[in-house]
Amino acid sequence: MSQTKEIPLMEKIVSLCKRKGFIFQSSEIYGGINGFWDYGPLGAELKRNLRTTWWNAMMREREDVVPLDATIIMHPAIWKASGHVDTFSDPMADCLVTKKRFRADHVEPQSGIALKYLSAVPSGAVVDLASQFGLGDGAILSWMGPSLIEQNLTPEYVCESFRRKIAEQLGESAAMGVPEAVIESAIQRWLSAHVIAEFKVLLRPGKPKESADVVAKAFYEARGVKNPVLIRSQTEERIENSRSFNPENGAQLTEPKPFNLMYKTYNGATATEADVAYLRPETAQAIFVQFKNVVDSTRVKVPFGIGQIGKAFRNEVTPRNFTFRSREFEQMELEFFIPPDEAVRLVHGSVAAWSEGADLSMPQTNWGWEMWHRYWVAQRTAYYAGIGLGPDVLDYFWQGKADLAHYARACVDILFKFPFGTEELEGIAARGDFDLTQHQKHSGKPLEVFDEELRAAAVKLTDEQRAAFIAEVQEDWNDHNKSREDAALFCERLLKGFYVPHVIEPSAGLDRLALAVLTLAYTEVEKTDAKGNKETQIVMRFHPRIAPKKVAVFPLLKNKPELVAKARAIYDTLKKHIAADYDEGGSIGKRYARQDEAGTPFCVTVDFDSLGEKGDELKDTVTLRHRDDGSQERVKISDLLGRLLPLVS
Ligand code: GAP
């Protein structure tokens, strides 16, 4: 999905993040640890604000979603049931020269000519053979060359070929004169020295073949061939858009192997392999396994959701793009439980299906899964708009049938236009009843809900209507490769009012969202100072709702106690309600610039007018400066909080 490359911009953002305390490399003083990041003072505030916006939009402001806060380590059987133990893996390939590990499906496609090295011989061995037979190195090499090696390499075959070659070069009698033992030992040495798997190097257009030889030499040297003399096939292969070569040196990569991304740990002081546990790779599974407890302990009724924010861990093959793909990250996930379409049909007679332009503003009781899925896409889009991520920076990727997990009915990725390409911010999947059914099966505990309205609707059916309903469901399931027996069992429970709810899952990454808003906020502005010098200043244009600090308060001068006292009093009042900063160091211009880089949307300056030096009209007023256009206005101190609160919350 990568589209654009603006690495310099990303480098500037990474550097600003460190300089201003948004994001630091984890364990930096020990050289860092790949895939782990810490949030500094401003970053921690930013992340907290993002968490709050999600929490409020997805739970607090809704009546149909409740929260959960589950543990990171859970019963390992959960990950077997969910499929993570068996299938949560990425394909991994290693460079055969540098051993660098790649995620096979993320290797940048390469084109060029593949040079095939059949083998390599230690140069000493060549000289040795040459001197034994009184020949030049070239002759020996040509014997060992492609014609010989491309054949089946049995000692008998090679021995025979050598004799033939010696005869060609020195004549029959000379060939007969070379003692058998000499030829055999030479051949044995030769075979053991160079029977090494063939190796390919991709030569990019315009590069000399010698550059590929350097890579091949390194390959053979790493396998114990000293000063290798390379034997290269005459056949060259044209390669187009291949992921089988290391983009950095052209070396062939190993065949991709699946690599499970879950971090393993062990429970207890006397732990053995039987006590293995995993750090959760997603927060979602805790929601499924606590589903029954939530239903039993609250008054929720399907359709309803359970939301959770928390850490997840994935041993990513190649963490990359700053925090975008990390090994420890935070997810904000909602599992929204809905009735199966068959239940909706029984109760309402039909199921409202999705069509372009359908009204998604208010959920309806006759909605099927498709409407719910579209509804959540619309809800999440509105959420992003509310924190400044409008349609100009978002995109959508509707997964095709081939991309979908086997249990998923639909999945859309909400993408953000990052400087390194348009990439996934959030996935919204319609997961059917896969998860709850799996946990029901593996735990042996029922995870169905009972729906009185459904049972009442079923009771009203005549025998013929029941039979027709079951036949219809069987037909439909059959079309979706599900067995008629399973359909009959499902109908039997449904007609008694029981079903396993289906799920719509909007799953967002908090760190990706933080990175998105950081890259979106980053703006460079040309400023001219008092002496006419031009300089570039950075302004972080965060939406005020998510800005780490909402307001900064300054006394015009720090050596005027009356100004300082008034400014501190304002700060003390504001900081109880909104994240505020106090700054009295340097010129006002410098202080504005500092706050612009931190992304603070408002600055308040207490000056001599605030003290009443120009009369009562301006007394107890301050300058309120707006970050994005630099405009300033005079505001009464008593009005400040009332002005700012609605803008930042
Ligand atoms: N429960 C579904 C699930 O976990 P996912 O697409 O694997 O789905 C959801 O992850 C979101 O979590 C992604 O859209 C992304 O924002 C975030 N995420 C996943 N892996 C991540 C990683 N290695 N680093 C940062 N964020 C990640």
The finding on whether 512 has its CB within 6 A of some atom of ligand 1 is: yes
Measured distance CA(150)–CA(123) in Å, rounded: 20
Selected residue with higher pLDDT from 405 and 24: 24
**Whether the predicted pLDDT of 45 surpasses 60:** yes
How many angstroms separate the Cα of 464 from the Cα of each of 281, 461, 468?
A: 48, 8, 6
Selected residue with higher pLDDT from 270 and 565: 565
CB burial of residue 423 (10 Å; 0-12, 13-18, 19+): buried
Return the pLDDT at 230.
Answer: 78
**Whether the predicted pLDDT of 1 surpasses 70:** no
Q: How far is the CA of 2 from the centre of ligand 1 (A)?
A: 17
| Average pLDDT value for residue range 529-543 | 91
**Whether the predicted pLDDT of 238 surpasses 90:** yes
Q: How far is the CA of 480 from the centre of ligand 1 (A)?
A: 28
Measured distance CA(245)–CA(107) in Å, rounded: 8
Atom of ligand 1 nearest to the CA of 427: 14
| Average pLDDT value for residue range 399-422 | 93
Is the separation of the CB atoms in 175 and 162 below 8 Å?
Answer: no
Measured distance CA(497)–CA(499) in Å, rounded: 7
Q: How far is the CA of 427 from the centre of ligand 1 (A)?
A: 8
Read off the pLDDT band of 143 (50, 70, 90): low
Per the omega criterion (within 30 degrees of 0), is the bond before 258 cis? no
**Whether the predicted pLDDT of 176 surpasses 80:** no
Q: Which of 510, 647, 535, 641 is nearest to 597 (CA)?
A: 535
| Average pLDDT value for residue range 189-213 | 80
Q: How far is the CA of 360 from the centre of ligand 1 (A)?
A: 26
Mind listing the pLDDT tens digit for each residue in 427-458?
Answer: 999 999 999 999 999 999 999 999 999 999 99
Q: What do you get for the CA distance between the two ends of the chain, in Å? A: 34
| Average pLDDT value for residue range 132-161 | 56
Of 71-80, 181-190, 532-541, minimum mean pLDDT range: 181-190
What are the structure tokens assigned to 237, written together? 């292969």
| Average pLDDT value for residue range 12-19 | 97
- The dihedral built from the CA positions of residue 262, 266, 272 and 275, taken in this order, carries a sign that is negative
The finding on whether 314 has its CB within 6 A of some atom of ligand 1 is: yes
Q: How far is the CA of 26 from the centre of ligand 1 (A)?
A: 20
DSSP code for 57 = I
| Average pLDDT value for residue range 66-83 | 97
Of 146-150, 472-476, 614-618, minimum mean pLDDT range: 146-150
- The dihedral built from the CA positions of residue 30, 35, 36 and 39, taken in this order, carries a sign that is positive
Measured distance CA(638)–CA(621) in Å, rounded: 8
The finding on whether 321 has its CB within 6 A of some atom of ligand 1 is: no
Measured distance CA(303)–CA(504) in Å, rounded: 10
What are the structure tokens assigned to 509, written together? 């990454």
**Whether the predicted pLDDT of 605 surpasses 80:** yes
Return the pLDDT at 271.
Answer: 82
In 171-297, which ranges are continuous DSSP H helix? 172-177, 180-194, 209-221, 284-289, 291-297
Mind listing the pLDDT tens digit for each residue in 358-388?
Answer: 999 999 999 999 999 999 999 999 999 999 9
| Average pLDDT value for residue range 183-200 | 65
Return the pLDDT at 398.
Answer: 97
Angle at the Cα of 108 from the Cα atoms of 103 and 109, rounded to 5 degrees = 115
Report if pTM > 0.95: no
Return the pLDDT at 557.
Answer: 97
Return the pLDDT at 146.
Answer: 47
Return the pLDDT at 192.
Answer: 59
Instruction: Give residues with Cβ within 8 angstroms of 216, minimum separation 6.
Output: 115, 117, 120, 199, 201, 228, 230, 232
**Residue whose CA is at the smallest distance from ligand 1 atom 25:** 325
Return the pLDDT at 479.
Answer: 86
Return the pLDDT at 150.
Answer: 46
**Residue whose CA is at the smallest distance from ligand 1 atom 19:** 509
Helix (H) or strand (E) run with residue 478 in it: helix 463-479
**Residue whose CA is at the smallest distance from ligand 1 atom 7:** 282
Mind listing the pLDDT tens digit for each residue in 46-67?
Answer: 999 999 999 999 999 999 999 9
**Whether the predicted pLDDT of 186 surpasses 90:** no
Q: How far is the CA of 509 from the centre of ligand 1 (A)?
A: 6
**Whether the predicted pLDDT of 138 surpasses 90:** no
What are the structure tokens assigned to 55, written together? 């929490």
Q: Which of 398, 405, 498 is nearest to 446 (CA)?
A: 498
The residue assigned the tokens 């890579």 is 215
Return the pLDDT at 226.
Answer: 76
Return the pLDDT at 204.
Answer: 87
| Average pLDDT value for residue range 74-98 | 96
Of 110-114, 142-146, 331-335, 517-521, minimum mean pLDDT range: 142-146
Q: Which of 333, 296, 447, 328 is nearest to 67 (CA)?
A: 333
Residue to mutate (ligand 1; options 282, 380, 422; most atoms within 8 A of CB): 282
Q: How far is the CA of 331 from the centre of ligand 1 (A)?
A: 7
Q: What average pLDDT does the structure give for the chain?
A: 91
**Whether the predicted pLDDT of 149 surpasses 50:** no
Read off the pLDDT band of 151 (50, 70, 90): very low
| Average pLDDT value for residue range 211-233 | 84
Atom of ligand 1 nearest to the CA of 281: 4
Selected residue with higher pLDDT from 152 and 398: 398
Return the pLDDT at 223.
Answer: 82
Return the pLDDT at 139.
Answer: 60
